[in-house]
Structure 1
Amino acid sequence: MRGFFFAMKIRFAAFIITLLFASQSCQQNETGAINQVPKKQLPKKYIEIPYKPVVPDSICIAAVGDIMLGTSYPTNSTLQPDSGKNSFTYVVKYLQSADVTFGNLEGVLLNNGLPANFKLHQRSKSYLFRMPVDNGRVLKDAGFNVLSLANNHINDFDKTGRISTTATLDSCGIHYAGLLDHPSVIFTVKGIKYGFCAFAPNSNTVSIFDLRGAGRIISDLKQQCDIVIVSFHGGGEGPAFEHVTKAHESYIGEKRGNVYAFAHNAVDNGADLIFGNGPHVSRAMELYKNRLIAYSLGNFCTYKCVSIASICGIAPLLKVHVNRKGEFLKAQIISVKQSHETGLLIDSLDRAAARIKLLTETDFPDNKLSISETGMLTFIN
């Protein structure tokens, strides 16, 4: 009997030891210390894959001409209803669908204040554009993310107007350039880095006359960016100045630059897209070194103080497609017309496209750019 009980104790002790080892093994498996599955056998959902942003092969840039959404000076009679909120209703889908949407802001964003040289302006009829700061949000909501401030009207309300304008655009997240203290800007959209700069013949703006200085600004941007967009304000104003003269222009005694020489110099130094404004009418387009130059996009959304009679009322909306190097792929001129009563309207007669087609074929007969009756731009081999 004594031997029997001794054997039972040995078996019981062995059983307890077995349980202890089994318990320890289970605990180690749960913490992953023992019997780990090799990493290469893990399900795919557990394997980390480095994130690589998708960079588009084709980039769309929309561009329009002069924007002036009504002025509160000298009275509120020239202000747009509802701060111009309904101005872009019929074109907003074209503006918002581009990667970058550009325009020329013809005036300042300022609620109150007297114009520069107030006593002089009291004695003469002047066009002074003071848009309410609320218009900044209207432009942002319409899709604009970059604006040129390089024009004569940025000085209408002196330093106060310039400071209010830049502060308003900063608060809305809209990029801008063209002032002496803000000549250029760099920004990124969908993995593409853009450089933007603007030039004009007016004080407090970056000079359109200094081709060497402009070349340095543009070249510096190209070294840092994928695509460089350049805007200029130049050339005479009105229906008598539709054509690109390839010479120095003047208007009412003011020198307005040689826009042909300026644009070619800009491309030579690295510009990929050139958007001109200033004449208040559309001008020809040209392909130079496979880069698109629009010599004037005319008026786009201007209210009361700016004439929209005849060809001044056509408002091209240009959508350009380029590759990641900035080389031209294709484009379209969407013909828009202005109305002081209803805002911008799509023009079923395609008059903006037809006019630019005629001007292009006249001013650049050997150009490699083909423009269809409906505004499609393609490269001629």
Structure 2
Amino acid sequence: MEKSLHKNGSRPTDNKGDFDEFCSIETNVADGFKMAAVGDLLYGRPVTKGYYPGLDEVLNVFQGSDVVFGNLETNILDVTSKGCPQAEYGGAYLISVPEVGPDLSAMGFNIVSRANNHTLDWGVEGLRETSRALTSNGIVHAGAGENLAQAGGARFLETPRGRVALVSFAATFEPMARACDPAGEAPGRPGLNPLRLARSVVVSSEMLERLREVREALPWYAPPPKEASRVTIQWPFGEVVFQAGEKPGYSFEPNARDVDNILRNLRQGKQFSDFCIATNHGHEPGEFSREPADYEQAFARKLIDAGADVYINHGPHHIRGIEIYKGRPIFYALGNFFNQDLRSPVGADMFDAHEKDPRLDTDAEVSAHEMAVGYPSAEGFLPLRDAEFYESVISVSRFENNRLAEIKLYPIELRRTSRFANRGVPRLAPAPQGYAILERLQALSEPFGTKVEINNGVAIIRLQPSPAQPE
């Protein structure tokens, strides 16, 4: 018996093949599709109309790219009318003047991530003003919103070679910055799309046994179920978990609910697009490490299996290695593209943290002290003055037959030796410095089996061309 028509005139089907085709997560871009990607945009003042010799050569690298991506690690607002510095902030109050919106667009950026540890430095108003500034200048942004569904959802960029989706989330963030959805009569909470990580401190078996003795000697100790491989010590505002391992350090376990939420949004983003970017702001295990956190490789691969065409991590403020997985790039850290040290205004809490007095000291002096000694964190003060924080790369990935064909990597340096007001703006690195940057990237990528060639001041990762797709 013939099936009846739906109200819209179409015929129902139980053909699973049709369903799979409609919900495909296959890549579908035109040959020659290019994605330029950089790391953190620590960016406070417009630069395109200023005097920054060599900036034009950097921006020329973006020419011909369908996508120009970066992580916007700042807030764009006029603080005299909107927003205020929050008691809980990401280590420094990152703020940019409203002119930064059109300046980003003029440089070629057309898509940025928003989820990071500075998303709510200036409160909900700062988040909203930043969204308005980006949208009004035609820049697609993801990772922050009025609730978790908005912060986690994919956002889309139309390009002549295909529609691009971006899913942005953060593993490093302040606890109060996490967005949530409505529950009953309780409204949703504005914030960022989180990837919560449970951190354990890895110690030797001998040290673990000594810690077990310490825990059992503490008052009000209630023996938990036997934990042969870990010890949990309760502190007034949380707990510290220790586990046995071969190498002292840190171990991380992603929150299963957050992972499921990210995977769902990623899958939907790819179903609605031709190319999908997954981007994470993760400092872990810390700025001290040139290696990614122990959870990250398996997690990045899981995202690519779910449909991501590229995984980009940013946050450590220096470069880490590159892996190619199933013909897709995994950038474990792309460093800084901007690192402008001069930020103003500065919240009172930051003056206190650096033992400065706003009646005597200037905003620049607070920022200079931050760069000299670092910003406060759970590990103490993290130094930000090292040369590697002012050295990075621009990556340009080219796709043919819906597969990665090559990645070109252009070394840049951010004027570390310039006067304070002009520091942190990129230019192509001079030959000796550029070669050292690329050699470092080459060595960091080797453990992932990635071959990085260096030729005429540019690094190239070449892949074997894929056979043409059938018509």
Q: TM-score range by the shorter chain?
A: 0.7 to 0.9
Greater than 4 Å deviation, 4+ residue runs:
79-87
Residues 175 and 82 of structure 1: CA distance in aligned 2, closer, same or farther (over 3 Å): closer
Q: Secondary structure of the equivalent of 1:230?
A: strand
| Aligned-residue offset at 1:356 | 1.3
CA shift at 1:89, angstroms? 2.9
Q: 1:114 to 1:171 in 2, by over 3 A?
A: closer
Q: Which has the larger radius of gyration?
A: 1
2:150 equivalent to 1:68:
no
Q: Find the counterpart in structure 2 of residue 253 from structure 1.
A: none
SS in 2 for 1:375: strand
Structure 1 residues 135, 308: CA separation in 2 closer, same or farther (over 3 Å shift)? farther
| 1:128-170 C-alpha deviation (Å, 9 max, x unpaired) | 1110010011110000000000101111001011000000001
Distance 1:152 1:133 in 2: 20
Distance 2:322 2:131 in 1: 30
**TM-score under structure 2 normalisation?**
0.59
Could you say which residue in structure 2 is the equivalent of 1:188?
Answer: 158
- 2:394 is aligned, of 295, 307, 317, to 317
Counting matched residue pairs gives 299
In the alignment, is residue 92 of structure 1 matched against residue 62 of structure 2? no
> In structure 2, what is the equivalent of residue 371 of structure 1?
452
Counterpart among 192, 202, 222 of residue 205 in structure 1: 192
Distance 1:236 1:188, change over 3 A: same
C-alpha distance in 2 between matches for 1:271 and 1:81: 33
Percent identity between matched residues is 25
Supply the distance in 2 between the matched residues of 1:65 and 1:213 (Cα, whole angstroms).
Answer: 24
Q: Does 1:155 align with 2:125?
A: no
Deviation at residue 259 of structure 1 after TM alignment: 2.3
The one of 86, 99, 111 aligned to 1:117: 86
Deviations 1:296-315 (A, max 9, x none): 11111111156353211112
Q: C-alpha distance in 2, partners of 1:332/1:145?
A: 20
Aligned partners of 2:111 and 2:157 also within 8 Å: no
2:72 equivalent in structure 1: 105
Q: How far apart are residue 338 of structure 1 and its match?
A: 0.4
Task: Name the CA distance, whole Å, in 1 between partners of 2:453 and 2:132.
Answer: 41
Matches of 1:146 and 1:269 in 2, distance apart? 21
- Which AA in structure 2 matches 1:370? K
Contact 2:263 2:303 in 1 (8 A): yes
Q: Residue 112 of structure 2 aligns to a residue in which SS?
A: strand
What one-letter code is carried by the residue in structure 2 that aligns with 1:147? Answer: V
2:280 to 232, 245, 252: 232
Match of 1:338 in 2: 414
Which is worse superposed, 164-173 or 206-215? Answer: 206-215
- Counterparts of 1:302 and 1:135 in 2: how far apart (Å)? 14
**2 CA distance for matches of 1:95 and 1:312?**
22
In the alignment, the residues of structure 2 paired with residue 379 and residue 226 of structure 1 have an alpha-carbon distance, to the nearest angstrom, of 21
Please show how residues 34-53 of structure 1 align to structure 2 within 5 Å.
Answer: none
| Secondary structure at the counterpart of residue 127 of structure 1 | coil
**Cα deviations across residues 219-265 of structure 1 (Å, max 9, x unaligned)?**
112212111111111133765211124x2xxxxxxxxxx32232111
What is residue 177 of structure 1 aligned with on the other side?
142
**Offset at 1:353?**
2.0
Structure 2, gaps ≥5 residues long: 1-28, 179-190, 196-253, 342-366, 372-383, 466-471
Q: Which 5+ residue runs of structure 1 have no aligned equivalent?
A: 1-54, 71-78, 248-257
Amino acid at match of 1:206: N
Q: Deviations over 1:91-117 (max 9, x none)?
A: 111123311100000110011155443
The Cα offsets for residues 18-77 of structure 1, whole Å up to 9 and x where unpaired, read as: xxxxxxxxxxxxxxxxxxxxxxxxxxxxxxxxxxxxx7412110000111222xxxxxxx
Q: CA RMSD in A?
A: 2.5
Normalising by the residue count of structure 1, what TM-score does the alignment of the two structures yield?
0.72
User: Do the aligned partners of 1:226 and 1:324 also contact (CA within 8 Å) in 2?
Assistant: no
